[in-house]
Structure 1
Amino acid sequence: MWNLLVVDDESIVRMGLRYMLDWEDLGICWKAEAADGKEALRILEEENIHFVMTDIRMPGMDGIELAQKIRHRNPEIQIIFLSSYDTFSYVREALRLGAADYLHKPTMDEDEIADTMQKVISRFKLPSNEPPQRTEEERNEFCLSLLDPFTFPAEPMKLLPELADESYKEGYELAIIRKRCDAVQENEDSEQLRFLSILHLMSKLVAKDWGGLVFHRNFREMIWIAPVRSLTGDGDMPSYLNGLRQKVLELLNVRLIFACGSSACRDISSLPGAYMSALLRFPRNEQSDSFIVRRAKEYVDRHLLDDVTLAKVGESIHVSPGYLSRIFLKEIGENFSDYIIRNKMEIAQKMLRETSRKVYEIAADLGYSNPYYFSKLFKDRTGLTPLEYRNQ
């Protein structure tokens, strides 16, 4: 199987590419990803990479400089360039560096990407001594086998050698993470895609901060098997997961709940017991909001583009604004006005990406008569002005 490294400074682009098509059907293993050229070079030193798909314009080391260094170090690696820029100078430089192909981000689709990768693959043969790569599905099944005493493998370290790493010398921790079931129901494909997005983000954050294996059971729950200590050697798992939960809420607008095993496992054979312990400790009463908050959210979702106020929502569901404000903060984890703004800014991002409407028109659509105030709220949430976001 061919190993692919994807390099792009926009995490949403990397995530979109990862789940846009079935890479394994193409004979490609999504081996790694990087946010810039320097990180990519570090990965190339550690992993056996055959193809690099890289954005041309990135902060720091851009795609052109990265390609030059790859050509110098390992000319056999095939490079596919991604860019929002179709000016001739970039295309000419990419071709001069021997690019296998060039994809235009605003117009590329699944078929074009698949055709490009098949053309690149057709030019080369995988070395006969290349060890076979496990698919993500196979790896996930191996991980799940560790959670049941009846399926626990006789030699787990052979199936998952990363669990024999020195970082596990003090033992193993286990946590179960689920998406709250109070969200608006989506169709099965959308639910699975949303879950995979959460799983991917969790895996990236955990690998950076703590280490361990993150896998899933039936696209319904994530399981994290981790060393007792983080990469920095401090913190505890519940505190870290609380911070992680907030990051996922901010980045994906998804609320998570979790439970940890009652104690660390000194031996890997104790993982089935740790999993059962975490299941028994799972906070069942957090699986949904109270009836009042659920009704409030339903009203907000229906009237988000109107002038939604706490008083109007309270009146519609027959509770006082003060009481609604208190239980909303307690159950949702953010106050009412922040909930409104966050959801409006997500609609604004979608409109900026997918339409050509002016900023003041989008502001008006979302109920903001002052476009400058709207721009300030947008920048507070995203770190960019609306125009910077659209042009990035």
Structure 2
Amino acid sequence: MMWNMLVVEDESIVRVGLRYMLDWESCGIHWKAEASSGEEALNILDRESIHIMMTDIRMPGIDGLELSKRVRERAPHIQIIILSSYDTFSFVKEALRLGVADYLHKPTMDEYEIKATLRKVANKLEETIGNRPAQSAVDRDAYLLSLLDRYTFPMGGKLPDVTLLQSGYWLTVFRKRDDALPNSDADNLRFQSIRYLIEEYVARDWGGLVFHRSFREVIWIAPEIAKSGQIDKNKYLDKLRQKLLELLNLAVIHASSDTHLETEELPDAYLKALLRLPYNEQSDNLIVRHAKAYIDEHLLEDIGLAKVAEVLHVSPGYLSRIFQRDVGENFIDYITRNKIEYAQKLLRTTNRKVYDIAAEIGYSNPHYFSKLFKARTGVTPLEYRNQ
């Protein structure tokens, strides 16, 4: 299907340059009309069928933001792309609040970036006008999160942005420095501001996918090569960290993986980034303390690594690694040891049958429990009671 586009730009030389910058028809876009002002654009919209509007932000009279607002009210199906020579956080917030699909930075935009933006808006049009059910942001994040852990990696899982695999990708994890499990709507809103700024900051210069895990981490999967060419990763991330501090007054910690080439390597990339995060009392150690507390409270229930990881909003693979590192034994061994110690207490202080004790701590097979007990203590449950 061919989508009709209206270009709104008060500088004719920019309109001409943009029109011949790429083969629009090959991108599924028909250059339907162009306007030199917001007023002219509104007149065109009244008489033409338009699917995409690309508009400059700064124009005499009705500027791009006001035009976008009016278009949103009159024709919400139209996908809006903003052209801007300005880089201000307040502008980005206002544009996205109005429902702008994407924005392009005029001084640096190139054919690759424009085509990527067109693919994005074309997909949105297919989802709405084409009657294809749109994937919600929650579903998108859930799918991307499933790619980060071998416990949840879907069969045939693929990155939705294939460009990430063309030259390789790397992954960065961001957390607030005062990292703790969120417990209020205010915490979640504050976290969303971090995700929002990171997503808008990297969209212009680098690209990739930005999503979050349970209002705790922001994850950025980035192509190896930035949109604007070779950029030093460490300097770029440090500049982003400073931007978060300046605009939101929030300090973050971050760490990145090495470069990977296959989707199946995402769990390794994610785990490597997590293990490179600065170690402090308020990050990894806190997760382990919460895990141990949960195990102690629910010891007699059917609990496992996946369940505890879900409660703490981390991946099972990550919880397993940091638990082994901080506690000195693996997750399952820790649970088993605590269950056996509880059984020893019952054997010493009660006359209950061995199979009753086994069932209480989660072992329906008393023979298996006895075998496990002896492997841990050197004696059978009855021998232990009779000592």
Q: Which has the larger radius of gyration?
A: 2
TM bucket, shorter chain? 0.3 to 0.5
TM-score, normalised relative to structure 2 = 0.43
TM-score of the aligned structures, taking structure 1 as reference length: 0.42
